[in-house]
């Protein structure tokens, strides 16, 4: 029974593939627009194995991870500082919320002027977007540290610095990971968009865009699936790290 339950997530996949196969077999949609699952996955497999798709995949991974890492290095310490004093956070809250609500893609022209056409622009816009998301979550994690826990540390004679490092920092970790997961997802979105339109020669975004221009539909679907798999895996990796290091979250 348990084993059967473990297979449940496969049901949805099976249904999707079945409908897709049927539609493509009966030619309900122009085969040029919707290739068969087999053709798509063959293209995906070959592209990842030996073709250019694998290279593009790695380029996108490197850019996304780099921008998330830069964002984390800046936003986590800053979030702790801002969150540890509610007054400080309230005084900059509007700025954070405003820029967090500004579509990061609207910042491309500005960053193009600052950094020119190239990886630096893509990575810095993605880092900018991710940093605000991470900052917001870390600051709230610190601010929402359980009052009883802080009080408990205080009655045991903990100094302000000890309370910050031993309690607030740990208390903010679950929320920090929420920020990191949202941040890496946003960074991937921004990187893929940037790869499509900001003079790029590689990356998954570029691969999707190019396949569309050449009307190579199996290649386009393959690149879309590769991007989906990447987004899903990044989220999963952060979840696994979180379970490992924040074992108490939600308990």
Partner 1 sequence: MSSAVPSRPTGTHDESHRTAPHVTIRGLCKGYTDAVIYDNFDFDIPRGKLISVFGPNGCGKSTLINMIAGLVPMDAGEVLFDGRPVSKVKFGYVFQNYREALFPWLRAFDNIAYPLKLMGIAKRERDRRVERLVAHLGVKVDLSLYPYHLSGGQQQLVSIMRALIVEPEILFLDEPFSALDYEMTLFMREQLQRVFMETATTMVLVSHDLEEAVYLSDHVLLLSRHPARVVEFVPFDAPRPRTDRTMSDPGFVATKAHCLKLFQREVHRG
Residue 233: CB atoms within 10 Å:
11
Torsions phi, psi of 59, nearest 5? -60, -45
Residues 196, 209 contacting (CB under 8 angstroms): yes
Nearby residues of 25 by Cβ (< 8 Å), 6 or more positions away? 36
Q: Is 160 in the site for partner 1 (CB under 8 A)?
A: no
- Minimum distance from CB of 169 to partner 1 (Å)? 10
Residues 177, 242 contacting (CB under 8 angstroms): yes
Q: Is 73 in the site for partner 1 (CB under 8 A)?
A: no
Stretch in the footprint of partner 1 (CB under 8 A) among 115-123, 146-154, 209-217, 225-233 = 146-154
CA distance 193 to 187: 10
- Minimum distance from CB of 247 to partner 1 (Å)? 7
- With respect to partner 1, which residue has the nearer C-beta, 65 or 173? 173
CA distance 153 to 126: 38
Q: Is 152 in the site for partner 1 (CB under 8 A)?
A: yes
Interface with partner 1: number of residues (CB under 8 A):
18
Q: Which of residues 164-203 bind partner 1 (CB under 8 A)?
A: 166-167, 170
- What residue ranges bind partner 1 (CB under 8 A)? 146-149, 151-152, 154-158, 162, 166-167, 170, 247-248, 251
């Amino acid at each position: 029974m348990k084993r059967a339950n473990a297979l449940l997530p496969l049901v949805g996949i099976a249904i999707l593939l079945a409908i897709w196969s049927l539609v493509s077999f009966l030619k309900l949609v122009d085969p040029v627009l919707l290739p068969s699952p087999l053709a798509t996955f063959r293209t995906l497999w070959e592209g990842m194995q030996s073709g250019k798709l694998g290279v593009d995949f790695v380029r996108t991974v490197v850019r996304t991870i780099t921008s998330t890492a830069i964002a984390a290095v800046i936003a986590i310490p800053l979030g702790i500082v801002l969150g540890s004093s509610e007054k400080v956070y309230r005084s900059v809250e509007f700025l954070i919320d405003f820029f967090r609500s500004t579509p990061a893609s609207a910042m491309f022209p500005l960053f193009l002027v600052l950094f020119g056409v190239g990886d630096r622009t893509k990575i810095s816009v993605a880092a900018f977007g991710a940093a605000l998301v991470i900052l917001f979550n870390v600051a709230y994690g610190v601010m929402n540290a359980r009052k009883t826990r802080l009080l408990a540390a205080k009655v045991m004679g903990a100094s302000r610095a000890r309370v910050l490092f031993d309690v607030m920092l740990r208390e903010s970790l679950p929320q920090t990971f929420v920020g990191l997961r949202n941040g890496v997802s946003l960074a991937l979105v921004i990187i893929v968009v940037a790869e499509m339109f900001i003079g790029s020669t590689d990356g998954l975004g570029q691969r999707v865009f190019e396949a569309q221009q050449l009307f190579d539909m199996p290649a386009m679907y393959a690149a879309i699936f590769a991007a989906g798999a990447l987004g899903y895996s990044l989220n999963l990796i952060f979840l696994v790290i979180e379970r490992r290091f924040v074992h108490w979250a939600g308990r």
